[in-house]
């Protein structure tokens, strides 16, 4: 573990894992989409409209998960000054922002026919929108400071402060009356969804997770090379002497 | 105390402070965060009379009355304890049906009927294939 935290080792290790993870992601995406959009039965109430859930739910889960990773890596970067953690936090932000935007947009598209409105200011939707602004604020703050290490540490404080939004998003549908429904899968007790729909949902969740890991590795590796460009190992790696 | 220890303490304090502030703020605002009131809250006078509010509940089975050749509709909205009659004219969402949870926006008229200008359907968290639903004649009504 200690070894892996050295920038050079992380770079070499992630280079080995990138390809298998990306292939697995592609496989899960194709399987999950076919299973969810073609094989899975329609819903007893919503018919085929519910199928947007196979994109909406994983992207909403990942929007929370990526933020947790970003804030966690930010805390590690603040305390232990580990370069790999700084790079992971910094590289996660745009990916998480994209997941959040996707969750908001797919939810809106589903909301119009099902609820009867594109958008309402209920607790779940508002707190998820706040998460998008937190991601954008994180990226803006990081861009605003010249020195990259200082920038990442300043942004990490923002990420930690914003982390308070994560439990609010998750529990909003239980604490307050909202238009958004209560959790189907991530709740105590059995999921309130039939197995024939749950299985493709979980495959899609795996696909989204794999997509995040692949993109994170690509971005983190690139960022690491740029930040460490004055270090001898970067020259060695780039000349192909690992 | 090492600088690292100081930073750990600083981060813990930040997290604790922000969590406490958020908890206090949300508790203070909790009534504003409610997306809708229930019929019980409306009838017990918790809501200022004639104020524009959202009212949530289940559409009582067999209570939906449509006026022919118009979009006028009226139905009973219940939270299993109290019931309010709702009047509405306009398009209804796909999920509107008897037994379904809905949220109506509008105000209580003098004749104790709720005049809605917008009706939204509230979806529950249950997903199943139609064949399975057919075997369960009454799907568990989740209170809104």
Are residue B68 and residue B17 in the same domain, yes or no?
no
Are residue B25 and residue B69 in the same domain, yes or no?
no
| Contact across the interface for A53 and B30, Cβ inside 8 Å | no
pLDDT of A83 above 50: yes
pLDDT of A160 above 90: yes
Indicate the average pLDDT of chain A.
Answer: 91
Let me know if residue A199 belongs to a domain: yes
Count up the domains in chain B and report the number.
2
Dist. CA A58–CA A107, nearest whole Å: 12
Identify the band that residue A74 occupies on the pLDDT scale cut at 50, 70 and 90: very high
Dist. CA A28–CA A208, nearest whole Å: 9
Segment A42-52 shows an average pLDDT of 86
Are residue B65 and residue B98 in the same domain, yes or no?
yes
State the pLDDT at residue A157: 94
Segment A106-128 shows an average pLDDT of 91
Let me know if residue B99 belongs to a domain: yes
| Contact across the interface for A43 and B7, Cβ inside 8 Å | no
Are residue B45 and residue B16 in the same domain, yes or no?
no
State the pLDDT at residue B135: 66
Let me know if residue B140 belongs to a domain: no
The whole domain housing B107 covers: 34-135
**The residue count for chain A:** 242
Confidence (pTM): 0.87
Are residue B128 and residue B65 in the same domain, yes or no?
yes
Are residue B46 and residue B22 in the same domain, yes or no?
no
Are residue B90 and residue B47 in the same domain, yes or no?
yes
Q: What is the CATH number of the domain that holds B44?
A: 2.40.50.140
Pairs of residues, one from chain A and one from chain B, whose beta carbons lie less than 8 Å apart: 121
State the pLDDT at residue B137: 52
Let me know if residue B25 belongs to a domain: yes
Let me know if residue A132 belongs to a domain: yes
Segment A225-236 shows an average pLDDT of 89
Dist. CA A59–CA A110, nearest whole Å: 14
Beta bridge partners of A91: none
Dist. CA B108–CA B115, nearest whole Å: 6
State the pLDDT at residue B109: 86
Segment A42-49 shows an average pLDDT of 84
Residues of A with CB under 8 A from a CB of B: 41-46, 49-50, 53, 75, 78-80, 113-117, 120-123, 157, 160-161, 163-164, 168, 175-179, 181-184, 187, 192-194, 196-197
State the pLDDT at residue A131: 97
Let me know if residue B142 belongs to a domain: no
pLDDT of B142 above 70: no
Are residue B7 and residue B44 in the same domain, yes or no?
no
pLDDT of B144 above 60: no
State the pLDDT at residue A215: 97
Let me know if residue A97 belongs to a domain: yes
pLDDT of A30 above 90: yes
| Contact across the interface for B129 and A44, Cβ inside 8 Å | yes
The whole domain housing A105 covers: 30-39+49-114+121-183+192-226
Dist. CA A231–CA A238, nearest whole Å: 12
Are residue B127 and residue B70 in the same domain, yes or no?
yes
Q: How far is B73 from chain A (nearest CA, A)?
A: 16
* B-chain residues near A45 (CB < 8 A): 95, 123, 133
Instruction: State the burial class of residue A240 (Cβ atoms within 10 Å of its Cβ: 0-12, 13-18, 19+).
Output: exposed
Q: How far is the CA of B6 from the CAs of A162, B17, B33, B90, B103, in angstroms?
A: 21, 16, 37, 62, 50
Are residue B19 and residue B78 in the same domain, yes or no?
no
Are residue B41 and residue B28 in the same domain, yes or no?
no
Identify the band that residue B52 occupies on the pLDDT scale cut at 50, 70 and 90: confident
Let me know if residue A6 belongs to a domain: no
Let me know if residue A70 belongs to a domain: yes
Are residue B62 and residue B103 in the same domain, yes or no?
yes
Q: Output the DSSP codes for chain A.
A: -TGGGSHHHHHHHHHHHHHHHHHHHHHHHHHHHHIIIIISPPBTTTBGGGGGHHHHHHHHHHHHHHHHHHHHHHHHHHHH--HHHHHHHHHHHHHHHHHHHHHHHHHHHHHHHHTS-S----HHHHHHHHHHHHHHHHHHHHHH-SSHHHHHHHHHHHHHHHTTHHHHHHHHHHHS--SSPPPSSSSSSS-SB-HHHHHHHHHHHHHHHHHHHHHHHHHHHHHHHHHTTTSHHHHHHHTT--
| Torsion from C-alpha of A124, A127, A129, A134, nearest 10 degrees | -150
Dist. CA A217–CA A11, nearest whole Å: 9
Let me know if residue A200 belongs to a domain: yes
Dist. CA A73–CA A219, nearest whole Å: 15
Count up the domains in chain A and report the number.
1
């Amino acid at each position: 573990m200690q070894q892996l935290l050295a920038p050079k080792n992380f770079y070499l290790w992630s280079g080995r894992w990138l390809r298998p993870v990306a292939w697995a992601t592609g496989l899960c995406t194709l399987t999950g989409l076919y299973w969810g959009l073609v094989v899975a039965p329609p819903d007893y109430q919503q018919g085929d409209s519910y199928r947007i859930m196979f994109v909406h739910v994983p992207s909403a889960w990942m929007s929370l998960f990526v933020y947790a990773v970003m804030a966690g890596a930010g805390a590690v970067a603040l305390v232990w000054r580990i370069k790999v953690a700084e790079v992971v936090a910094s590289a996660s932000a745009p990916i998480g922002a994209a997941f959040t935007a996707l969750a908001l947009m797919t939810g809106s598209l589903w909301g119009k026919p099902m609820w009867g409105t594109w958008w309402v200011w209920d607790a779940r939707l508002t707190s998820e929108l706040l998460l998008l602004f937190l991601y954008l604020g994180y990226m803006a703050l990081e861009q605003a400071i010249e020195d990259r290490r200082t920038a990442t540490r300043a942004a990490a404080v923002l990420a930690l402060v914003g982390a308070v939004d994560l439990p609010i998003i998750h529990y909003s549908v239980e604490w307050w009356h909202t238009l958004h429904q209560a959790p189907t899968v991530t709740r105590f007790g059995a999921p309130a969804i039939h197995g024939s729909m749950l299985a493709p949902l979980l495959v899609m969740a795996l696909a989204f997770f794999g997509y995040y890991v692949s993109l994170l590795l690509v971005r983190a590796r690139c960022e690491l090379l740029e930040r460490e460009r004055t270090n001898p190992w970067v020259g060695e790696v780039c000349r192909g002497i690992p | 105390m090492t600088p690292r220890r100081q930073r750990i303490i600083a981060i813990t304090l930040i997290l604790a402070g922000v969590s406490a502030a958020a908890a206090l703020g949300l508790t203070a605002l909790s009534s504003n965060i409610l997306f809708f009131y229930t019929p019980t809250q409306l009838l017990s006078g918790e809501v200022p009379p004639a104020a524009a509010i959202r009212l949530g509940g289940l559409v009582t089975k067999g209570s939906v009355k449509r006026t022919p050749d118009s979009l006028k509709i009226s139905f009973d909205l219940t939270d299993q304890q109290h019931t309010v009659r709702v009047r509405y004219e306009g398009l209804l969402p796909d999920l509107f049906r008897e037994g379904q949870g809905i949220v109506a926006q509008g105000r209580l008229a003098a004749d104790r009927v709720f005049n809605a200008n917008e009706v939204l359907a509230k979806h529950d968290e249950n997903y199943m294939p139609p064949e399975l639903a057919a075997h369960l004649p009454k799907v568990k009504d989740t209170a809104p």
